[in-house]
Structure 1
């Protein structure tokens, strides 16, 4: 039963990531480019898999930098800041570094917009889910007693996959010089809110006294709205400049 629960959690987390990578066209594109690189038509550096790996490495570097900043400016007072809204706000400000990291990832990926944002988003999300969930599941989900918290963490990881792809799209849109000024303002506001999204959602969930499953539903609904708005902006820009 323990092994079955652990395997179920692993599949629930990582299978959606694999299917997203494979069905998005990146898998086929990477395979095709590897064949072409064998005949010296393209360089192998354009393979989507290695670009995802590159995004994961930048994610690791970004998290290390954030940990260094948090340890420097917020030492040994996590418990006190937990009840301090201003302190939590300042800690969430450090998450702006994620936007910088995604910008660096997108700048290093050649190709069209859809392949850039998918490669950056999937690579970033995969690195996060491996580093933040693998040890948790290995230690907790293999326990003798069943706990719904690990299933909830799995669903939350799938929501984060969508969120990271949306964030990568917003960063790419913000970097476009041909984006209308009004849309750029909207994209900028959405990016700033993304950095504080975790804090705002936690405050909302606490305010309405939502349980774990209702909290997941709220996070999924907010992510859906974010994704829909981003898709509308991206689709409008795509029709104008013909990036599909």
Structure 2
């Protein structure tokens, strides 16, 4: 039962990444090592964010029992804007067509995040003697993060395009800010509504799906206009 549980968690994480890489055309572009390079920039970006957080936002000695400190969390979440800069660096370093750029950046970024934040948890926790739905939730959350990072990479790429319709630039910018502040918004919503872990996961999936579909529509319009696919 222990190995079966761990195998299910591993399959939930690995299979979507494999199919994304295999059937999206990335394998034809030889983007395997580019994904690793994107992961390296992810690690560098997270180290810079940790230094900024440790310097300017030290951990409080007294926990806030009444609720979350919205202003403090807002400033901490603002540091996540560095992720947009990291993705921009990745996109500028990848040659090729638009879809290859955004998929390589998104898959590499999401893969590095999962390895650094969830792999050890699944390896140690999911192989335990007792079954816990938390590890299934973390595996599903990894898939949502994959879609989210591909969406964010696409928005960064759209924002950097000079041939993007100027009327769409404010929309793309607003969606980039939503991507950056999404964790804070969902945490506040969950705190206000007192939702459980499964409902919170569903809200995150719906939020990510809405962002992804809107981004896909903007990208498809630009691709059709410019003849890039």
Give the structure-1-normalised TM-score: 0.90
2:23 corresponding residue in structure 1: 23
**CA distance 1:78–1:133, shift in 2 (3 Å):** farther
Pick one of 201, 207, 210 that aligns with 2:186.
Answer: 201
In structure 2, do the counterparts of structure 1 residues 107 and 152 end up closer, same or farther at CA, with 3 Å as the change threshold? same
Is 1:216 the counterpart of 2:201? The answer is yes
Change (3 A) 1:202 1:79: farther
Counterparts of residues 161-200 of structure 1 (less than 5 Å): 161-200=146-185
Partner residue, 2:69: 84
**Matched positions, count:** 227
Structure 1, unpaired ranges of 5+: 31-47
Which secondary structure state, in structure 1, belongs to the residue aligned with residue 118 of structure 2? helix
- 1:66 aligns with 49
Greater relative contact order: 1 or 2 (C-alpha under 8 angstroms, separation 6 or more)? 2
Tell me, in whole angstroms, the C-alpha distance in 1 between the residues paired with 2:188 and 2:115.
Answer: 27
Q: Alpha carbons of 1:79 and 1:2: their partners in 2 closer, same or farther (altered >3 Å)?
A: farther
- 1:53 maps to what in 2? 36
Give the structure 1 partner of residue 115 of structure 2. 130
User: What is the alpha-carbon root mean square deviation over aligned residues?
Assistant: 1.3
The answer to whether the aligner puts 1:8 opposite 2:8 as a matched pair is: yes
The unaligned stretches of length 5 or more in structure 2 are none
Rounded Cα–Cα distance in structure 1 between residues aligned with 2:153 and 2:59? 33
- What TM-score do you get using the length of structure 2 for normalisation? 0.96
Ranges of 4+ aligned residues in structure 1 off by more than 3 Å: 78-82
CA distance in 2, matches of 1:80, 1:170: 36
